[in-house]
Amino acid sequence: MDDDGIEHVLVLAKAPVAGRVKTRLQVRLRATEAAAVAEAALCDTLRAARSCRAVRRVLALDGEPGPWLGDGFEVVGQGEGDLSARLTVAWRSVRGPGIQIGMDTPQVTPELLDGGLDRLARPGCDAVLGPASDGGWWALGLARPVDGVFDGVPMSADDTGERQLARMRSLGLRVEMLDELGDLDRPEDLDRIARDHPHLAVAGVARSLAAGGAS
């Protein structure tokens, strides 16, 4: 099928397996509790992606699908290598236009995703980038496939977002910026997201953990 003109949303995620996800939460939580947070965050993320206007929804997954997946997603692998390499593999599973997110911003909304797709549809916009408050980025969108967009960009650094933007501009892409979001990495991030977005599944897990209701 020729899907060059089909809008997509691409979610890059790890299966929420204890010991493999949200390890920075384990200064407060047990591995099983951190995995419960990760599963809830992933469910919130997939719910937003499922509710946005994209016709094609793809989950690039490290691990095996579970009951948390639900309907509406194609599942593809991430391949091997560092995050830059796995992002490159994930983007080869789709064509353009589309927007990619991870599982660290469960507060993302369908409206934010649709806003990114709206911008990609505008004349004069080749790409969008959503900065994260820790210096990274939470969303990256392309109006068409672009080779090498992640080349030379260090991931999980304080200036990842800045360097990603510079890389995109060095390829001649006209980039528009999306709203900044905060990642869910540390216990204080979980507290903030649960407080500010109490309707989310991840907020419910946080409340249960605070009340001693999870093991």
User: What is the domain-level CATH number for residue 199?
Assistant: 3.90.550.10
- Asked if the structure places residue 25 within a domain, the reply is yes
Using 50, 70 and 90 to split pLDDT, how confident is the model at 213? low
pLDDT in tens, 155-175: 888 999 999 999 999 999 999
Is pTM beyond 0.75? Reply is: yes
Q: How does 2-15 read in b/e, with b if 16+ C-beta sit within 10 Å?
A: eeeeebbbbbbbbb
**CA–CA separation, 214 vs 188, rounded Å?**
19
Is residue 144 assigned to a domain?
Answer: yes
Q: Is 213 part of any domain?
A: no
Q: What is the tally of structural domains in the chain?
A: 1
138 in a structural domain:
yes
Q: Is residue 146 part of a domain?
A: yes
What's the domain range around 45?
8-208
Separation of alpha carbons 37 and 110, rounded Å: 21
pLDDT tens, residue by residue, 8-58 = 999 999 999 999 999 999 999 999 999 999 999 999 999 999 999 999 999
Domain membership flag for residue 36: yes
Per-residue model confidence as pLDDT tens digits over 73-91: 999 999 888 999 999 999 9
pLDDT at residue 143 tops 90: yes
Residue 215 lies in a domain: no
